[in-house]
Structure 1
Amino acid sequence: MTRVKRRITSGMLINANTVVNGEKITLVPYENHHVVRYHQWMQSEELQQLTASEPLTLEAEYQMQQSWRQDEDKCTFIILDLDVYSKSGKENEDEIAAMVGDVNLFFNDEDNKHSAEIEIMIAEPSARRKGFGKEALQCMMQYGIHTLKVEEFTAKIGFKNIASIQLFQKLGFNEVSRSEVFEEVTLKYSVADQTHTSQAALKVFHVRPYRLKS
């Protein structure tokens, strides 16, 4: 996630009461009760470097979470480890324990409303290399295609983030440009250009209402 972009606008009203279930992960809207854990993540110098961001105060993070909920050009989900999430009946506390990262869509192309920039962050080191990032991207792409009518995805990733570049390429993204100034590569996925087989490779997902209220 590139938090600099989220300072401009970010959260989509359409997913405010939506849960997306995969096989290993669950995507839930970014709510008030997630902020403290999210804020703790963003104190990490590693994550600040990977997301090209600066740390906020906790108060500013709460304010930002509220503003993200009002922006119709952004769609933000918190990624939960489904195994941890399913173990407790205390939903609020269980969500915090299950948080591993976030995934986002940015509809910032004024000339193409069916184009979205996609970003992902697996913040918990213990949750990496478990397939969570791949599945979260697949679920978000399916949600974008079927619910938000996305026809084209782009991803901008730093040169040094080789693992993320390789992950997006495995999902069918192709490099279209490089910026030496920003030290990032731009990858693109066109829904129309994908074969039926490659589209089917995106995980089947299930959408249900998000009943938890903060």
Structure 2
Amino acid sequence: MKINNNTQVKGPNVTLVPYRKHHVPKYHMWMTSEELQKLTASEPLTLQQEYEMQKSWQEDEDKCTFIILEKSTSNDEIDTMIGDTNIFITDKINNIGEIEIMIAEITARGKKYGWEAVILMLLYGIKYINLRIYEAKISLHNLISIQMFKKLGFIEKSKSEVFQELTLEKVVTKDWIIWLENECKYTIDNYYN
């Protein structure tokens, strides 16, 4: 999505940056993992297909993607990449978006980085994309993500045994926005890399 092309969102422990070409090789390496393919309901792609996907995510008006960087002393973005978070606008008329989160680096799991990144992305979607309803489609096997989204106030909308997937939903309210902002302080800056 072009709206986030030059934007970074900084939280206390993670920074969200636009998904760019230089991120693709590491992202591609992550997606060779059968575990991540299963948890994200993804099919393996060639490196060339991954570059094409990155380009479409950057240009399509219905997708907003950020790479999640762990804040550290390193200035090398590739070294600090730990995952990604996405919003797919599924209904422009009713301002509905589907949110996704992936913490790919095993060493970054269990540190609440996913929690922080999702909150940053939810707030970004509300303030800059004008989303009013969020959905999260999660593999029934991904209990950690299901629990996290329920803690964020999402409720079960539907369950598909065929696709082995749970759809959770959250309607945006003023109280919820205030709660999200209290959960995670953030700043939004220009991104030049």
Tell me, yes or no, whether TM beats 0.5: yes
Give the superposition deviation at 1:195: 5.1
Distance change in 2, residues 1:199/1:124 (3 Å): closer
Structure 1 partner of 2:22 = 33
Give the superposition deviation at 1:201: 3.8
Structure 1 partner of 2:90 = 108
SS in structure 1 at match of 2:134: strand
SS in structure 2 at match of 1:108: strand
Structure 2 partner of 1:87 = 74
Q: Read off the aligned partner of 2:107 and give its amino acid letter.
A: S
SS in structure 1 at match of 2:173: helix
The one of 94, 100, 106 aligned to 1:119:
100
Structure 1 partner of 2:7 = 18
Structure 2 partner of 1:161 = 142
Q: Distance in 2 between matches of 1:193 and 1:143?
A: 15
SS in structure 2 at match of 1:100: strand
Give the superposition deviation at 1:202: 3.9
Residue-pair matches, total: 193
The one of 31, 34, 47 aligned to 1:42:
31
Provide the TM-score with structure 1 as the length reference. 0.85
Give the superposition deviation at 1:52: 1.2
Distance change in 2, residues 1:195/1:109 (3 Å): closer
Give the number of the structure whose residues are more often strand, by fraction: 2
SS in structure 2 at match of 1:80: strand
Structure 2 partner of 1:4 = none
Give the superposition deviation at 1:98: 0.2
Runs ≥4 residues deviating over 4 A? 193-197
Alignment of 1:57 with 2:39, yes or no, is no
Where structure 1 has 5 or more consecutive residues not aligned to the other structure, the ranges are 1-11, 89-93
Alignment of 1:206 with 2:184, yes or no, is no
Structure 2 partner of 1:186 = 167
The one of 120, 136, 158 aligned to 1:177:
158
Measured on the aligned residues, the alpha-carbon RMSD in Å equals 1.5
Q: Distance in 1 between matches of 2:97 and 2:177?
A: 21
Q: Read off the aligned partner of 1:157 and give its amino acid letter.
A: I
Where structure 2 has 5 or more consecutive residues not aligned to the other structure, the ranges are none
SS in structure 1 at match of 2:90: coil
